[in-house]
Chains A and B, each alone.
Chain A
């Protein structure tokens, strides 16, 4: 009936205008507490000295772009995945390849090491996340024991085990994140809210509780409650896709890297962006970020083949690292903070210390 249609569109308009005014109120509330900048508070901290960081190991073996990597908790083994469809487990001390598996798809965009060190997870254009137990039995074919865990309706962009081998968190081009039980493949919780592809995720340090942060092509970073599936905080200050998110070691903040050529720091208790890491000379996107153990340094890999090292508190760049011959696509600091590993479209991984 015509009158029903009119009533509905009035409600829709009313809801939309309420949403706009709530957004305005959110900004006002955040602005009220913006009494100082992080870098001003950091003026009283000693400046950092000169850093000497060099490539200490180069891992060669992938036949195409390296897309993702993760460290094993033993601080030594590394899993990496590539556009060539291969997933390789390396001993980073010796550079030996310990395991290799060929996926049924190319563009394996995500890989992760299980906390126990006994399995790895990976996926990409197959829209799935699969878990492979790692076996040292030469007679066993790694691919034979493959377990399909997650099913999305678009590519898998990121995956991470939670604190045990039993659950995996995934992010996908289908705009959602999801939590899965590894053994049964059951979907435990799904997270809806991003308006476009989700490109990255990171779990809060275990002491902080059951939350994780995700970043996407909608330029938003969202913090989620893993139990309820609800988004608890959202940040929209980047000007382009967010490629990487990583929690600050205390769990009170997280950093992001974006195609807008900046990295940013968001404090969860102040509920706002508190620092932006950028330079006029940096015009290519940041693909991956990670913190040093204390949170003082932010390592960021860029599409201009470099790695920039930022003083998180003062907002200045302390070092620029050259070596890769194509985009840096992935970067993680080792579990004991003694080194970090970067993966690149130049087909190699480098360990820096």
Chain B
């Protein structure tokens, strides 16, 4: 079969790639999840969607009409 050398080349690359991927360092999901949580919590106060920006400062929201008392 004429195409066998390229098939072998492809198969070899696939094996090398998988060896590399199998060998990377991983952390436990509990640790990774805790870090994701921590990041969210720390950043929450600067997240406009969570904190809510008053209409006056959000350029997309309408400003409330002023009443003269």
Listed in ascending order, the chain A residues whose CB lies under 8 Å from chain B are: 5, 8-9, 11-12, 15-16, 18-19, 22-23, 25-26, 29-30, 33-38, 41-42, 45, 48, 51, 53, 56-57, 76, 92-93, 193, 230-234, 248-250, 252-253, 267, 269-272, 274, 292-297, 312-313, 336-339, 351, 353
Contacts and interface: CB of A to CB of B under 8 A. Distances in A.
A3 B11 CA distance: 20
Q: How large is the interface on B (under 10, 10 to 19, 20 to 34, 35 or more residues)?
A: 35 or more
B48 A337 contact: yes
A232 B18 CA distance: 10
Interface string B7-46: 1100110110111111010111111111111011101101
Contacts of A45: 37, 40-41
B29 A35 contact: yes
Most-contacted residue by chain A among B1, B7, B12, B39 (CB, 10 A): B39
A318 to B, nearest CB: 10
The B contact surface, by secondary structure, is helix
A30 B25 CA distance: 10
Contacts of A25: 22
A339 B11 CA distance: 47
B34 A41 contact: yes
A211 B41 CA distance: 25
Given A34-B29, A37-B29, A249-B39, A5 B1 contact: yes
Contact of B50 (A9, A19, A41, A48): A48
B59 A338 contact: yes
Contacts of B39: 248-250, 252, 294-295
B67 interface: no
* 3 A-B pairs with least C-beta separation: A294-B43, A294-B47, A15-B11
B55 to A, nearest CB: 10
A41 to B, nearest CB: 4
A30 B34 CA distance: 17
Contact of B11 (A12, A30, A253): A12
Contacts of B27: 33, 269-270
Contacts of B44: 294, 296
Contact of A42 (B8, B21, B37): B37
Contacts of A269: 26-27, 31-32, 35
Given A25-B22, A30-B26, A15 B15 contact: yes
Given A22-B18, A293-B46, A9 B4 contact: yes
Contact of A295 (B30, B36, B61): B36
Contact of B30 (A16, A30, A35): A35
B57 to A, nearest CB: 9
B37 A41 contact: yes
Given A9-B4, A29-B26, 7 more contacts: A15-B15, A18-B15, A30-B26, A233-B24, A269-B31, A292-B48, A295-B36
A22 B22 contact: yes
A269 B44 CA distance: 22
Contact of B36 (A5, A19, A267): A267
B44 to A, nearest CB: 5
Most-contacted residue by chain A among B12, B49, B62 (CB, 10 A): B49
A274 B32 contact: yes
Nearest to B46: A293
